[in-house]
Amino acid sequence: MIELKHKEIFQAAPQLKVIAPGRINILGEHLDYNGGVVLPAAVNRSLEFTFSTSPSAEATLFIYASSLNEHATIDPKSKLTRGWMAYFANALVALKEESLSIDQDISICFDGNIPLGAGMSSSAALCCGLIQGLSDLHHWSLSPARIAKLAQRTEHLTGANCGLMDQYAVMFSKEGHILKLDNSDLATSLIPWNLSDTSFLLINSKVDHQLAGTDSDYNQRRAVCEKGLALLQQKFPEVQHLATATSIHLTYLMDHMIPDDIIKISYVLEETARVSEAEVAIQQGDAKALGHLMYQTHKGLSEKYQVAIPETDFLANLGPLIDGVYGARMVGAGFGGCVLFLVEKAKAKRIIEQVHRKYLDLFGIDSTGFEVEISDGVSSRLM
Ligand code: GLA
């Protein structure tokens, strides 16, 4: 138990425990930074943090990453750009930018079962959980939206130019519901998830992805979209977000961008249309229709947005060949990570085994597969 670990490592009883979940995304991939609607949900895989404080003018974080068995000491002057420690250092920078400074020594133990670099937004869970904990310890009373934005800023400082979907999923999710986040105005609502005979499976391709880095594939995709929007706005200033552009706008862009970029932007427009259909399918409890949309999204991510890899293509393409699978698609940023399956609940275990065997045969990689439940967002408890 993390509480015992905390006592053992820091010789102090934890005063606060925070649990921050990972997420899946049903549909709306790469739409958050394009002002589109996304449909994520937190799941029952999470990071847990325990915190204890002691008065000190130095204001230092003493951190123990339990599953990695690694220690770090970070003060507000630490400059780190790599590894999990960079998120802690950059969270302090992000808070400082908003005149929020820690005023005591804080010992933090954290542990969890979200696979890292697997498209389940372990970094958003890390940043949101940490900032939630620091907010509670200092009585800053930060709103969930503010924590989400501070966590996003932390990721930007660490080199991934991400949107806000992951942080909102961590902060606003509710058990038994899909979160609808409209990134044009950050309005949120909850759609009840009524497909009780179905399960979501995550199959980890075990190919790690890396979002951070000035030239990362993720940042490049975002740059293409931003360029497209900027070009569009020169002629059509009323278009505020790429996700709300139309085919007329796309035709205009054809004279101003290379064909490969146009293909990527066409994915954004098509995915936006799919999200509206997915919302209806969820409301009607239509697993077949939703699954079909998931397959189409994967195809778009693979062939147009070009963020899938042979491993995730293979996994998603297994879906139609296996009895009991409604739909499958890569989830999160791409370039590796997990493939999300929507399946008949009763067949879930067998499907995991079948996928595992076929993937092992072809790629020689021992994938991990697990069923996930749609869960609550972040929680925090004084101890
Ligand atoms: C990562 C980013 C998100 C989002 C997804 C793709 O998870 O952190 O902001 O862009 O990729 O949908």
Query: What is the whole-number distance in angstroms between the Cα of residue 349 and the centre of ligand 1?
Result: 28
pTM above 0.75, yes or no: yes
pLDDT in the model for residue 209: 75
Query: What is the whole-number distance in angstroms between the Cα of residue 122 and the centre of ligand 1?
Result: 11
The residue with tokens 């940490």 is 130
Residues 6 or more apart whose CB falls under 8 angstroms from that of 82 comprise none
Residues 6 or more apart whose CB falls under 8 angstroms from that of 70 comprise 64, 84
Mutate to test the pocket of ligand 1, among 166, 208, 267, 272 (most ligand atoms within 8 A of CB): 166
The beta-strand segments (E) located in the chain are: 16-25, 37-38, 40-54, 61-65, 70-74, 105-112, 177-182, 187-192, 198-204, 325-330, 338-344, 368-372, 379-382
Residues in the chain: 383
- Here the tokens at position 130 are 């940490």
166 is an active site residue: yes
d(C-alpha 65, C-alpha 48), whole Å: 10
Q: Is the separation of the CB atoms in 106 and 134 below 8 Å? A: yes
29 CB near ligand 1 (under 6 Å): yes
Residues 6 or more apart whose CB falls under 8 angstroms from that of 127 comprise 87, 91, 150, 151, 152, 154, 155, 167
Collapsing DSSP to helix, strand or coil, 351 comes out as helix
- Here the tokens at position 123 are 């970094």
How are strands ordered across the β-sheet holding 61-65? 70-74, 61-65, 105-112, 40-54, 16-25, 379-382
pLDDT in the model for residue 134: 98
d(C-alpha 77, C-alpha 185), whole Å: 34
pLDDT in the model for residue 321: 98
pLDDT in the model for residue 78: 79
pLDDT in the model for residue 275: 98
Inter-axis angle of helices 165-172 and 122-138, to 10 degrees? 50
CA neighbours within 13 Å on the CB side: how many for 254? 9
Residues 6 or more apart whose CB falls under 8 angstroms from that of 244 comprise 35, 36, 184, 272
pLDDT in the model for residue 190: 98
The beta-strand segments (E) located in 61-167 are: 61-65, 70-74, 105-112
Query: What is the whole-number distance in angstroms between the Cα of residue 163 and the centre of ligand 1?
Result: 6
How far CA 278 is from CA of 31, 54, 125, 180, 293, in Å, comes to 14, 49, 26, 11, 7
Q: What is the pLDDT along the chain (383 residues), one digit of tens a residue?
A: 999 999 999 999 999 999 999 999 999 999 999 999 999 999 999 999 999 999 998 999 999 999 999 999 998 787 777 789 999 999 999 999 999 999 999 999 999 999 888 899 999 999 999 999 999 999 999 999 999 999 999 999 999 999 999 999 999 999 999 999 999 999 999 999 999 899 999 999 999 877 767 678 999 999 999 999 999 999 999 999 999 999 999 999 999 999 999 999 999 999 999 999 999 999 999 999 999 999 999 999 999 999 999 999 999 999 999 999 999 999 999 999 999 999 999 999 999 999 999 999 999 999 999 999 999 999 999 99
How far CA 342 is from CA of 38, 349, 350, in Å, comes to 17, 13, 14
Phi first, then psi: give them for residue 185, nearest 5 degrees: -135, 5
163 CB near ligand 1 (under 6 Å): yes
The residue with tokens 């409604």 is 326
- Here the tokens at position 126 are 């890390």
Mutate to test the pocket of ligand 1, among 23, 25, 30, 297 (most ligand atoms within 8 A of CB): 30
333 CB near ligand 1 (under 6 Å): yes
